Chain A
Amino acid sequence: MTDLALRRSSRRRAHFLPRRGSAILLVSGGVALLALLPVLALVEIAAQGSGDLWPHLIENVLPEAVRQTLMLLVGVGMATVLIAVPCAWLVSTCDFPGRRMLDWALLLPLAVPSYIVAYSYLDVLHPLGPVQSAIRFMLGISSPRGLRLPDLRSTGGCIFVLSVVLYPYVYLSARASFLVQSAAALDVARTLGAGPLRTFVRIAMPLARPAIVAGVTLALLETLGDIGASEFLGMRTLTVSIYTTWVNRSNLPGAAQIALVMLALVLLLIVAERSARRSRRFVATGSAKPQAPTRLNGLAAMGAVLLCTLPVLLGFGVPLAHLLNATIQRVEFSGFSMDVLREARNSAVLALAGTALALLLGLIVSVAQRLDRSRLGTAFARIASLGYAVPGTVLAIGLLTPFAAFDNFLDSLARQFAGVSTGLLISGSGGALVIAYAIRFLTIPVGGVEAGYAKLSPHLDMAARSLGSTRTGVVRTVHLPLLRPALATAALIVFVDGMKELPATLLLRPLGVETLATHIYAEAARSTYEDGALAALLIVIVGLLPVILLARISRASAR
């Protein structure tokens, strides 16, 4: 490179992208501000005062809500680890019949919304349902009144339902970690005389711990924000209490106050997870030979197949079979309505737009963090990830006010200066909903791209720069191609989550727009969820393809 070229490129850099306060950092700050919008609105709502609510809450509501929330978190946390980690270990380090299929099949429950799993299991396990009918038949009991088994509508039932749909988060990250663990460390343990179990417990598990914790954190955030399944199964969690305070006591400021307290708790959880990860960071030596899978035979193989099939059956097989059955019965009974196709289109379009926006915003934030390397960039990335920690209902309420205010501002401007009414430009068009999806799921691309970047050595940037590439050039020609798997993974997860999203969709969608999720909810609201079976089935089917792709990409990128 000539001196001139070097000088020119450095001048151009100095002009367009100064290191401090660079343009991309500024945009990233804008994204962070957008993500902060609902929280700021919440603070504003909370500041309106909630009257004499808190003494009542502290005495009668919060102790029980906190207790039930904690029980749910502990239960789901333990159950997802117990389900996911052995499966992830088996699929990534052993070989047994059906392993290749189970490898991706274990992710399938991601495609099923928790509320649908809850409805399905209530039907299947009800005294009038197939399971209990069969038990009574075998025991020779004629009337359902003759046998009383535990009810699904309980803490245990809710832990069960949430665990069988949320374990894939843990599975995904544990598997990724097991796949890259170098054979060397494990071999050393084996040559020192440790058996397979001991190797797993003493070496593989501790190495995978940060990844497992990250997966569990995601599952717990989902649990914390869940309203569909929890409310349906009779739980009184913090999120349900926020909702009740708002809806039944018409005390929105009070609900906002509880939401802020909960947000603080969530932030604590995330900070704890981050610091746990930081203190135990393991360098993955990329060049190490991955482990050769251990071949399992006979009983061991059978056990492995059974252990890995069960979660798929519980989280996906049973709900799907139930939905298929219910759909067939419904179509026979009331025919096929074309409405459902329109709803499917709406769901897909909204989720797609939300995905594109989330990806774009996530990329901006992550790239800014990489290029700028200042604390500010990292802070923006953290703030941008906040949306996931806010329950969807609360997020929606928080967005309602600023969007509508903006629309009204624009409308009055247009009326004043152009003599036309723009109406509700953002909130009336579905734009509000798309932005809500993007904010809610922004943590997925931000986290994904960040993790992708972690694998790209800074030396790569230096090499590209020394070959004359500009900073934007590095991003375009080096980063983006290498980040493609991370971006694709994030896109697929956001899309599936967008299809399933209920609370924000319910509140922010424009006049006359139904989606599959709101359709199901409307049916469930009058306990006719069988009428929503077809819509539920479509959500699951549309979610299937991304989930299968996801499994492929994550394996490919681990290799």
Chain B
Amino acid sequence: MARSMAKTLLLAAGAMTLLGASASAQQVVNVYTTREPALAAPLFEAFTKATGITVNSVFVKDGLPERVKAEGAASPADLLMTVDVGNLLDVVDSGVTQPVDSAVLSKAIPANLRDPAGNWFALSMRARLIFEAKDLPKPASFTYEELADPKWKGKVCIRSGQHPYNIGLTAAYIVHHGEEKTEAWLRGLKANLARKATGGDREGARDVLGGICDVAVSNSYYVGLMRTGKGGPEQQKWGDGVQVVLPVFEGGGTHVNVSGAAVAKNAPNKANAIKLLEFAVSPEMQAVYAEQNMEYPVLAGAKVAPVIAELGPLKIDTVSLVDVAKARKKASELVDKVGFDN
């Protein structure tokens, strides 16, 4: 029995090596991404088609910097892709990236959307917006501050306060109004919640349609993904069942966050990683980001998808993303302090 088990073990080990079967002499680029695979896939496919370079990727939702750091000199990672500027800076701060000097990247990406030292680059943007029940009159304007207004008591749906998207929003609030006012805002918003702060952004639309809440907070691309029917007929119903408002900060604009990438410090295929980055900000790929992922492109002049353009002009908030990222720790503490997710 012990022998048969040892045999099974050997067999399994053999099968395991098949698992990792990858391209041998071929040109490759290895991508570690916190981005959902389905959203990154169009970029990778187009890149392989255009350059013949194979993209190996692994979706590491959490622990990307820890993993690359632990793997050290032998790490196969070339490009590290994340969503949320805070996560991007975390990766940079953990010392696993290297600066890149590329005229293509500097030209395509506005200065406030990349690291002056070249350690990170934003590739696309998303706005944090509001879903509102269709039977309510469409407001002329909506501010993030208003979400804490007692008139919405028991009528707001939002995902976990500790989720990076909401931490980003809360951090931006701190940059605008300071800690004290942010705490009061969080308390007001918490008191307005219709259900526990959890789930994803699309559930906000579903819950508004289901009568659980009147307003919900969501990222902009979900509107496009739902309304175009990409997420299936059910989700199309949710997306069509709500009206969408682009809120602003009092005296500011709409809060945006980014998805971005950095080249790994020990990248075995550094040149290919830079190629992939440059490819990502080409007009063709920025159009893919816009059309397939429903995001706002970073490349000046690139068009957004019609279903996103419908939402109206985006007035991007004026505060610096790096400042927002810095206020993130405080934001996370305040969310705990008011018991937002309890």
**Residues of A with Cβ closer than 8 Å to B?**
56, 59-61, 64, 68, 122, 126-128, 132, 143-148, 151, 153-154, 231-234, 236, 243-244, 246-250, 252, 329-330, 333-334, 346, 349-350, 352-353, 356-357, 359-360, 363, 393, 396-397, 400-401, 403-405, 407-408, 411-412, 421-424, 427-431, 434, 476, 480-481, 484, 487, 506-507, 509-514, 518, 521-528, 530-531
Indicate if B209 sits at the interface (CB-CB under 8 A): yes
- Nearest CB on B from A169, distance (A): 25
Which positions 216-231 of chain B face chain A at CB distance < 8 Å?
222, 231
Whether B210 contacts A511 by the Cβ 8 Å rule is no
Whether B17 contacts A429 by the Cβ 8 Å rule is yes
Which of A356, A507, A510, A514 meets B5, CB within 8 Å? A356
- Nearest CB on A from B342, distance (A): 5
- Once the chains are docked, how many angstroms separate the CA of A128 from the CA of B201? 17
- Nearest CB on B from A51, distance (A): 10
Indicate if B191 sits at the interface (CB-CB under 8 A): no
- Once the chains are docked, how many angstroms separate the CA of A526 from the CA of B235? 12
- Nearest CB on A from B43, distance (A): 16
Which chain A residues lie closer than 8 Å to B207 at the CB level?
126-127
Which chain B residues lie closer than 8 Å to A60 at the CB level?
333, 336-337, 339
Whether B74 contacts A148 by the Cβ 8 Å rule is no
Which of B19, B62, B198, B201 meets A346, CB within 8 Å? B19
- Once the chains are docked, how many angstroms separate the CA of A282 from the CA of B262? 63
Nearest CB in chain B to that of A528: its residue: B231
- What 9 A-B pairs are tightest by C-beta distance, nearest first? A527-B200, A234-B196, A234-B198, A127-B210, A353-B12, A145-B211, A404-B70, A144-B211, A527-B202
Indicate if B332 sits at the interface (CB-CB under 8 A): yes
Which chain A residues lie closer than 8 Å to B19 at the CB level?
346, 349-350, 429-430, 510, 513
Which one of B97-105, B112-120, B160-168 is at the interface?
B160-168
A-B CB contact pairs (8 Å), 28 listed = A56-B336, A61-B336, A128-B206, A143-B211, A151-B196, A231-B198, A232-B199, A243-B62, A244-B162, A334-B232, A346-B19, A353-B12, A408-B73, A423-B74, A424-B75, A430-B16, A484-B1, A487-B1, A506-B60, A506-B62, A507-B62, A511-B76, A513-B19, A513-B20, A518-B59, A522-B59, A525-B36, A526-B39
Whether B73 contacts A412 by the Cβ 8 Å rule is yes
Q: A153-B198, A329-B234, A396-B63 are in contact. List 7 more A-B contacts (CB 8 A).
A: A349-B12, A353-B9, A428-B20, A429-B16, A511-B20, A511-B56, A524-B200
- Nearest CB on B from A368, distance (A): 13
Which chain A residues lie closer than 8 Å to B160 at the CB level?
231, 234
Whether A411 contacts B211 by the Cβ 8 Å rule is no
- Nearest CB on A from B274, distance (A): 19
Which chain A residues lie closer than 8 Å to B342 at the CB level?
64, 68, 236
Indicate if B57 sits at the interface (CB-CB under 8 A): yes
Which chain A residues lie closer than 8 Å to B16 at the CB level?
349-350, 353, 429-431, 434
- Once the chains are docked, how many angstroms separate the CA of A360 from the CA of B1? 10
Which of B30, B63, B74 meets A408, CB within 8 Å? B74
Which of A148, A252, A411 meets B212, CB within 8 Å? A148
Which chain A residues lie closer than 8 Å to B341 at the CB level?
234, 236
* Contact (A522, B73) CB under 8 Å given A126-B210, A397-B63, A530-B234: no
The winner among B30, B63, B167 for most chain A CB atoms within 10 A is: B63
- Nearest CB on A from B196, distance (A): 3
B 243-286 binary contact with A (CB < 8 Å = 1; else 0)? 00000000000000000000000000000000000000000000
Nearest CB in chain A to that of B71: its residue: A404
Which chain A residues lie closer than 8 Å to B141 at the CB level?
none
Which positions 320-342 of chain B face chain A at CB distance < 8 Å?
329, 332-333, 336-337, 339, 341-342
- Nearest CB on B from A432, distance (A): 10
- Nearest CB on A from B64, distance (A): 9
What secondary structure prevails in chain B residues at the interface with A?
A: helix
B 64-81 binary contact with A (CB < 8 Å = 1; else 0)? 001100111111100000
Indicate if B25 sits at the interface (CB-CB under 8 A): no
- Once the chains are docked, how many angstroms separate the CA of A524 from the CA of B160? 15
Which positions 22-77 of chain B face chain A at CB distance < 8 Å?
22, 30, 36-39, 56-63, 66-67, 70-76
Indicate if B140 sits at the interface (CB-CB under 8 A): no
Indicate if B233 sits at the interface (CB-CB under 8 A): yes
**Residues of B with Cβ closer than 8 Å to A?**
1-2, 5-6, 8-9, 12-13, 15-20, 22, 30, 36-39, 56-63, 66-67, 70-76, 90, 133, 135, 160, 162-164, 167, 195-203, 206-207, 209-212, 222, 231-235, 329, 332-333, 336-337, 339, 341-342
Which chain B residues lie closer than 8 Å to A59 at the CB level?
337
Which chain A residues lie closer than 8 Å to B74 at the CB level?
404, 407-408, 411, 421-424
- Nearest CB on A from B134, distance (A): 11
Nearest CB in chain A to that of B1: its residue: A480
Which chain A residues lie closer than 8 Å to B337 at the CB level?
59-60
- Once the chains are docked, how many angstroms separate the CA of A404 from the CA of B68? 9
Whether A511 contacts B58 by the Cβ 8 Å rule is yes
* Contact (A356, B195) CB under 8 Å given A248-B164, A507-B63: no
Which of B5, B231, B234 meets A360, CB within 8 Å? B5
Which chain B residues lie closer than 8 Å to A232 at the CB level?
198-199
Which of A249, A333, A396, A405 meets B332, CB within 8 Å? A249
Whether B60 contacts A427 by the Cβ 8 Å rule is no
- Nearest CB on B from A287, distance (A): 28
Nearest CB in chain A to that of B70: its residue: A404
The winner among B160, B201, B233 for most chain A CB atoms within 10 A is: B160
- Once the chains are docked, how many angstroms separate the CA of A518 from the CA of B61? 10
Which of B1, B5, B39, B201 meets A527, CB within 8 Å? B201
The winner among B19, B66, B75 for most chain A CB atoms within 10 A is: B19
Whether B60 contacts A507 by the Cβ 8 Å rule is yes
- Nearest CB on A from B288, distance (A): 17
Which chain B residues lie closer than 8 Å to A350 at the CB level?
16, 19
Whether A522 contacts B38 by the Cβ 8 Å rule is yes
Which of B2, B63, B196, B211 meets A363, CB within 8 Å? B2
Which chain B residues lie closer than 8 Å to A144 at the CB level?
209-211
* Contact (A526, B200) CB under 8 Å given A60-B336, A429-B20: yes
Which chain B residues lie closer than 8 Å to A360 at the CB level?
2, 5-6, 9
- Once the chains are docked, how many angstroms separate the CA of A268 from the CA of B51? 58
- Nearest CB on A from B198, distance (A): 3
Whether A153 contacts B66 by the Cβ 8 Å rule is no
Whether A151 contacts B195 by the Cβ 8 Å rule is yes
- Once the chains are docked, how many angstroms separate the CA of A250 from the CA of B18? 35
Nearest CB in chain A to that of B75: its residue: A424
- Once the chains are docked, how many angstroms separate the CA of A480 from the CA of B57? 44
Whether A408 contacts B76 by the Cβ 8 Å rule is no
- Nearest CB on B from A521, distance (A): 7
- Once the chains are docked, how many angstroms separate the CA of A249 from the CA of B328? 8
- Once the chains are docked, how many angstroms separate the CA of A411 from the CA of B71? 11
Whether A356 contacts B12 by the Cβ 8 Å rule is yes
Nearest CB in chain B to that of A129: its residue: B210
Whether A526 contacts B36 by the Cβ 8 Å rule is yes
- Nearest CB on A from B264, distance (A): 13
Whether A513 contacts B198 by the Cβ 8 Å rule is no
Which chain B residues lie closer than 8 Å to A506 at the CB level?
60-62
- Once the chains are docked, how many angstroms separate the CA of A434 from the CA of B9? 11
Which chain B residues lie closer than 8 Å to A56 at the CB level?
333, 336
- Once the chains are docked, how many angstroms separate the CA of A404 from the CA of B67? 9
Which chain B residues lie closer than 8 Å to A424 at the CB level?
71, 74-76
- Nearest CB on A from B103, distance (A): 30
Which chain A residues lie closer than 8 Å to B59 at the CB level?
514, 518, 522
Which chain A residues lie closer than 8 Å to B162 at the CB level?
244, 248
- Once the chains are docked, how many angstroms separate the CA of A248 from the CA of B67? 16
- Once the chains are docked, how many angstroms separate the CA of A538 from the CA of B25? 35
